[in-house]
Each structure stands twice: as C-alpha cells, then as structure tokens.
Structure 1
Amino acid sequence: MVAPSLNLSGQLHRGNDKSLHWISRSESLHKKDMNVSKFKVVVTDHIIRQDGLDLLRAEGGEVVVLRAHSPDEALFEAVEDADGMMARSVTVTARLLELAPKLKVVSRHGVGYENVDLQTCTRLGIAVSISSDANSQSVAEYAFAMMMASAKNIVQSDRAVRANVWARDNSSAVEFHGQTLGIVGLGRIGSRLARLRSGFEMTVLVYDPYATDEAIESCGARRAELDDLLETADFVSLHVPLTEETRHIIGRDELGRMKRSAILVNTARGGLIDESALVDALNEGEIARAAIDVFEEEPLANDHPLTKLDPVICTAHVAGQTQASLVRTSIVAAENILAVLRGDAPEVLVNPEVLENRNRVSWIIDPT
C-alpha cells in the first residue's frame, strides 16, 4: 500500500491516482449486526459539544472529559485504559501514545492533524481520523467575512468610535464588485468560498495542482499558477493543510509578488505564512492588509508584532466555530470512533496503512 499524503485541497490521496480514502456512511457506519462492547473514550477538551458524547454513551461508552489544556499528568492517567480519544487542541505525542496500550483510534475534532504523531500511531496500530466536512461552511463564511471586514475598514472604524473619534473618512475602503479573488487550495472550504463570491461578480483564480478542471470550472473559477495568482489577485485566501510542501507557502518572495493593494486572508493553518516576512511586507507597504485567524504559535503572544499593526485583523483560531458546526464536528468525531471500534474505517482515515496492522483493531475491511 502506498502511503497517503495531503494535497493542496486538504484531501487525502494515494500515490498518483489522487483518490480520497473516503468511506461512504452507507458502507461503514451504523452496521446493525455489529455491536461495540463496553469501551472508554477520553475527550481532551471540555468545550466539545455534548451531542457527540451522548452518541458514545448511547453505544455503551464510558466518556471521560478533561478540561482544555489539562496538565500532561492528567492526560497520561486518563488514557491508560482508553480505547479511543477525541482530540481537539491537545498535542498527541509519542509518549502519550505509548502510555495507552488499549488505544485504537485518535479522532480529531477538526480537520487538521499536525498535532498528532501520525508515525507512532501507525506503528502502534492506532487509526487517526478527521472530522472531514463538518465545519467547512463555517470556515468559508468566516474567510469571506474577514475579507469584507478588512476591505471595508470595519474593525478600524469600530475602534475609532470606541475611542471617541468620529472619523468619517473611509476613502481607503475597497469594493468587491469586479475584483479578483485568488484561492490557494480548492478543497471543501475553498470551493465553498468560491461560490460565496457569486453575488459580487468577482473573478476567481485557483491554485491547486491536484484539483480537476471540472472541479475548478464548477466553481466558476479559472486555474492559475501560484505566482500568476499572487500577481493578479486583489484578495488572496489560503485553504490548504499544513505539510512540508505547504509550510511558508506565502513567504517573502510570494508577498513581494502581490499587489500593493492586496488583502491576504488565512483561516487555514498558521505555518502557511512566514509571519516575520508578513510583518515586513505590511510595514513596507508591499501589501495593504491582512486578516489572520491562525498563527504559527498559539495562543498568540501579547507582544506579537502583527497585533501592533493597524491594517491587520487578528482572531483566535475561531473560523470553524459556529453553533451548528460544533455540533456537527462532535457527532462526526464520535461516529469515527465508533466505526473503528467496530473494526471499520472512519469516514476519512488519515493513515490508511494502519488497516494492515491488526495489533489493536480487528479490521473487517480489505486494506487494499
């Protein structure tokens, strides 16, 4: 079996065929003739919605909920006899995994998995899943809202009024009509963002070497190389996973190619942008503004230079969080745990080569 990798759209593919390791729910979930015996799941963050936890309990699970950012010792103790883990912001290290001899699945409450030691999971026979499409609409809407807030100077105007400054000069605001939107990564979120712009008659350029022509055309977009997109777009929005291929995909050279009037939006992963280069680009006027929801190190330091720049909107990695999306994410994360405990593959399996390892899971599906 060829090991999978993530393409720029955030989709899983094997080798050259770019196919998703995606199991339809009709094939893998809720099989009536397969019962899950008593099991224990550790939930690493107390703010995860109850809907998914109730689903686990209804199947006979013992659910242990830890407070977010609990000390390592509390997490180590909790996983000693755990069968599953629902992980949000916690870092799943090799040490943690070695202390959990019964653990069969790490189910990410979200779509990123850079905080999970994937190699160790696979070696031990632990499946790693993500919550696929659960928060895609929320993130796409948030990215568009960030574009709008930045273009219209909404945050700056609010700050001025609160400071008792009635400044009616908003001449630097930008209209969306007729502008060009550049989307880096046309996955579930990028494609939704492309459709959200339809009422503004914007041109959409897409950089994603893995996206099909049909997928790009269905969004009313055009394919472009990254350099061409950066040189042309008035708005650039990032929607790719963080991998070795995409780390600092926007660096000093890329920022230098952008329009001086351009607005850069990142609701994906912090490591996609070289933050030091971004600070310099904003200070030197190489780009006009930025709206950033994710950072290389989180929580963001109080003295981080991006927080000192007026043309920048900073938010606390909240793009994927709405009432509806958090419920969906908790349910999908729980369903993924139940699927693995039944010996089935979750909807999106990050490490499909684990199917060949039966040390911890008695898989009932063909790993090929």
Structure 2
Amino acid sequence: MLRCAVLDDYQGVALGLADWSRVRATSFREHFTGLDDLVAAIHDCEIVVIMRERTPFTAEVFARLPSLRLLITSGARNAAIDLAAARAHGVTVCGTASGSAPPVELTWALILGLTRHLLPEATAFRSDGPWQSTIGGDLHGRTLGLLGLGKIGSRMAVIGRAFGMDVVAWSEHLTEERALECGARLVSKDALLAESDVVSVHLVLSDRTRGLVGERELSLMKPAAYLVNTSRAAIVDQDALVSALRAGRIAGAGLDVFEVEPLPAGHAFRTLPNVLATPHLGYVTELNYRTYFREAVEDIDAFLAGAPIRVIP
C-alpha cells in the first residue's frame, strides 16, 4: 500500500470523513513551519494531501521529496504549488471541488460583527461589563462595494440587496451587463472605494491584483467605512492597512486571510481594537470538508487506476 500524508489537519478530522483504506494514511495536525521538519515527516510518502495554501509546495520541497508521486490540494487551484516544479519531478497534481457558500457566510458574519460591534459587546456581557456601550451601524440604505463579482462576489451582491443595501462592484474585466445581472452597479475602483460603507474583497490573487488596495486606495475610503477581506491577504497592502487602522483613517477591518499563516503572535492584527479577525475559516465547514476529503480519496483511487481525475495542469 502506498503511504499518504494529510497535512495541516488542524481539527484532526480528515481520516474520519472519508474511506482511506486503499492507502496507508497518516494525518498531521501540527503545521510544519520548517522545511526540514516537513521533509522528515513525509519523506517516504508517495501521496500527499494538502489543505488549501497552508503548506507551500515549492521547487525545493519537490526536490527533497523524491518518493512523491501524487499531490492533492483541496480546491481547484492553489497558488502555493509550483506546478512547473511538480511536472519536472513527475508529480501529478489534482484538486477537489470547493463550495462558494461558506466563505460568503463568513464574510457576512464579519460584516455584521464589525458594524454591530459584536465582539466588544459580547466580551462585556460575559465579564459583567457595561450593558450596552456602542451604537451599531446600519446596513439598510448603505452602500456595499464588491471588489470582484465572480462566484462569491455575486452571492455577496444578492445578500447585500436583501439587506437593503445599494451594491456597487468593480473588477478589471467586469461589464455593466454582468454587474446588472448580479444586482450591482458597475463603477470605477476609486468610486467604489469612495462611495462604499463596506468594501469587501472577492478577487483571485494574481500579478494584477497583488497590492491592488494600497495606501492611496485606503485613503479614498470614508473614515466610517469598513474593509473586509476573506479572499487573499496580498490583494491588500498589509502595512498600509495597519497604518490606516492605527490612525483611524477607516473604521475597521474584518479579516480572514493573512500573508503568513498561522499569524505570528503579537502581530498588529491580533491587537488592534478595530480589527475583527478569524483564522482563515472561510472554507472551514463540515460540508466543504466532507467534499474535500471524499474527493481527495476519489483522486487517489483514480490515480491508482492509472486514470487521474481533476488534474491541475
């Protein structure tokens, strides 16, 4: 039987959510921060299953894992995999489906948590603190700005309209017709940032979108506006965001993605009072996990049968 490692199984649930009986599977709950530790743990594995982008697979990683034949990632794309290096080392890379509903739901949890000050109010409630100390912001009648109107952004637009919000959207190739189909108005990026009470990021990270929201863009936002990013951290200049939050140039930020994960202890995002953050939970739901690991096993079975499926080229 081939040996299979399941990496970054933080909750320790992977082996119970699918039938791994055709391989000798080992789950690792701890995140390997050093390459030497990673290689020592999985050097003899022919198959590795990774969760999203938690552990990058670079050319150096592939070079040090000569036994590796199949790499499976949850989701249909993974920017942390060097696909050219995988091909050069004869490693097949496959993916799985990933639902768009869970990240939409978490994004709205962050928006509601920020605007209604749920964290400070809940903390005060549990610590016998003041009974009501904040005044919540409204969504009805306010403007939701969506940077990106794809699978997730379009769902965001529907829910924004249900809250009674005016929804505006921008992306590089978005058309007015597509925006209208989703219940949004197409505006320029600068107009979106200036008009919106909540700006939510739903773009794919690429060379064009990396650093898309920087110091200049943040300066266009209203002082009472919130920025929410559940997409990819690098789309927003992290240092510029910290500066804007510290100076109160925007009201706050809801964050689920970070350039280094797990986020180092003592990082500003862990301490700023106007940040509501979660540890990259957007896709972490029971249904999504069941899909990930069931389809990972399907990928393994197909590979063993000599006909790989869901191959990422």
* Fold shared per TM-score above 0.5: yes
- Separation (CA, whole Å) in 2 of partners of 1:163 and 1:81: 51
Instruction: Report how many residues are paired.
Output: 308
Aligned pairs for 1:1-368 within 5 A:
39-46=2-9, 47-50=12-15, 53-54=18-19, 56-57=20-21, 60-70=22-32, 72-73=35-36, 75-77=38-40, 79-88=42-51, 89-110=54-75, 113-134=78-99, 136-171=100-135, 173-211=136-174, 215-344=178-307, 346-347=309-310, 349-350=311-312, 352=313
The answer to whether the Cα contact below 8 Å between 2:221 and 2:250 also exists between their aligned partners in 1 is yes
In structure 2, relative to structure 1, the CA distance for the partners of 1:281 and 1:74 (3 Å cut) is closer
Q: Let me know the Cα RMSD of the aligned residues.
A: 2.6
Q: Secondary structure at the match of 1:182?
A: strand
The answer to whether the Cα contact below 8 Å between 2:15 and 2:27 also exists between their aligned partners in 1 is no
In structure 2, relative to structure 1, the CA distance for the partners of 1:344 and 1:189 (3 Å cut) is farther
Query: What's the TM-score, normalizing by structure 1?
Result: 0.74
Give the C-alpha shift of residue 188 in structure 1. 2.3
Query: What's the TM-score, normalizing by structure 2?
Result: 0.86
- Separation (CA, whole Å) in 2 of partners of 1:200 and 1:257: 25
Q: Where do 5+ consecutive residues of structure 1 fail to align?
A: 1-37, 353-368
Which residue matches 1:28? none
The answer to whether the Cα contact below 8 Å between 1:45 and 1:67 also exists between their aligned partners in 2 is yes
Q: Secondary structure at the match of 2:129?
A: coil
The answer to whether the Cα contact below 8 Å between 2:73 and 2:94 also exists between their aligned partners in 1 is yes
The answer to whether the Cα contact below 8 Å between 2:223 and 2:250 also exists between their aligned partners in 1 is yes
- Separation (CA, whole Å) in 2 of partners of 1:137 and 1:215: 20
In structure 2, relative to structure 1, the CA distance for the partners of 1:290 and 1:243 (3 Å cut) is same
Give the C-alpha shift of residue 180 in structure 1. 1.4
Q: Where do 5+ consecutive residues of structure 2 fail to align?
A: none
- Separation (CA, whole Å) in 2 of partners of 1:271 and 1:113: 14
- Separation (CA, whole Å) in 2 of partners of 1:318 and 1:279: 21
Give the C-alpha shift of residue 342 in structure 1. 4.5
- Separation (CA, whole Å) in 2 of partners of 1:83 and 1:212: 45
- Separation (CA, whole Å) in 2 of partners of 1:202 and 1:66: 44
Q: Secondary structure at the match of 2:204?
A: coil
Residues 88-138 of structure 1: CA distance to partner in whole angstroms, max 9, x if unpaired?
A: 22232323312334533321124662332233113234333443433x211
Residues 1-27 of structure 1: CA distance to partner in whole angstroms, max 9, x if unpaired?
A: xxxxxxxxxxxxxxxxxxxxxxxxxxx
Query: Structure 1 vs Structure 2: percent identity of aligned residues?
Result: 31
Matched residue type, 1:120: A
Residues 279-304 of structure 1: CA distance to partner in whole angstroms, max 9, x if unpaired?
A: 22123332111111111222223322
